[in-house]
Amino acid sequence: MTGKYHRLRRASGAVLLMVLVGLPFLRVNGESAFRFDVPTLRLLFFGAQIGMADFFIILVALIFVTLFTLFVTTLFGRLWCGWLCPQTVLLDATDLIEKVRHRGPAVRVALSAAGIAASGVIAAALIGYFVAPAEIPGLLRSGGTAAKIIAWSWISMTVLLYLDLTLLRRNFCATVCPYAKLQGVLFDDSTLLVAFDATRSKECMECKACVRACPVGIDIRKGPQSACIHCAECVDACRERMAAGKRKSLIDYSFGVPGIQRTGSRVFPYLSGGLTFLALLLLVFLIGSKSPFDLGVLLLYSAEPVLQADGSASNVYELALRNKTGTDLKLELRVAAAFGKSRISPSSLTIPA
């Protein structure tokens, strides 16, 4: 298959795969570009660091992502499933294993070994989303509890990924994926989908090229189906066959089913879009107003006030400071008295990262 959509989908999949595998190793300000660091319970996001004390920011971010997903799905259907979902991208990359399953044993063993190796590499990259990749070799050499957790996590994910890529494959979308189950609720009669133009059904040559090209094995001519991932492989197949007669493809992307009049108003897209925008504004505000440190001031009652010769009094306070950035933080300390003069010592301090 060399159609337009096929080439674009493979290109986008290759880019996404490189991003997924390489993102934990991309460093910004000395840390991973994106990682939820389990040892320190911090979320690292392109230079920003969010600790558990600011977990509400992560909660708002999750709400934004959820609303954005609902909004995009209502408008553009399952484009994510067919073009950007890691499951689809990995399956496209390992299609060769499925195609040669019935070949000779030597070929099967070689490709199975390649599949296990690929699963191991991806599993190692996934661990990098939770533990700093540069620290993993040292943790493994230590032989402690962390080493055992990392090793067993890697083995478990490698096995699960290999079983998914070789046995479950496309059935994952139809039986396991919760996002696929939401499609029937989120779709309306104006959602973007891959559809067969039933008004031109007499032009169909019954070549079944669309059925053979479909990775999930459905017949798009029977109408929209929940198993369809909108990958457009059938569009390329039909376009290639119809081009011989210089006719337009019978299958293509369409907002709603061709030939069926759209009814009602689209309330949900406007509602979800508005809520998504509000969640984004709130998220930007919270990130922009986040303090770089936490400060607590306690009067040290065990140290009594001392009356100085000039009539002034000195008190001892305890400061509890926590640096929430990834670099050393230098602070100047100032104190304001209700009346008279006041001074504080030390007047500055540095909080290590």
For residue 3, which of 166, 177, 234, 194 has the smallest C-alpha distance? 234
Beta-bridge partners for 194: 253
Residue 311 to residue 58: CA distance in whole angstroms: 51
Arithmetic mean of pLDDT over the chain: 83
Which residues in the chain belong to E strands, given as ranges? 27-28, 31-32, 34-37, 42-45, 48-51, 192-196, 251-255, 293-299, 306-307, 313-314, 317-323, 329-332, 348-351
Instruction: Report which of residues 315 and 25 the model is more confident about.
Output: 25
The total of other beta-carbon atoms located within 10 Å of residue 349's CB is 12
Q: What is the pLDDT of residues 255-308, one digit of tens each?
A: 877 767 666 667 788 888 899 999 999 988 888 777 777 777 877 777 777 777
Residue 188 to residue 224: CA distance in whole angstroms: 12
Instruction: Classify burial at 244, counting beta carbons within 10 Å of its beta carbon; exposed 0-12, middle 13-18, buried 19 or more.
Output: exposed
The pLDDT value given to residue 69: 87
pLDDT band at 344 (very low <50, low <70, confident <90, very high): confident
pLDDT band at 4 (very low <50, low <70, confident <90, very high): confident
Contacting residues for 265 by C-beta, under 8 A, at least 6 apart: none
Percentage of the residues of the chain whose pLDDT score is greater than 90: 10
Residue 219 to residue 222: CA distance in whole angstroms: 6
Contacting residues for 323 by C-beta, under 8 A, at least 6 apart: 292, 293, 329, 351, 352, 353
The pLDDT value given to residue 97: 66
Residue 196 to residue 260: CA distance in whole angstroms: 12
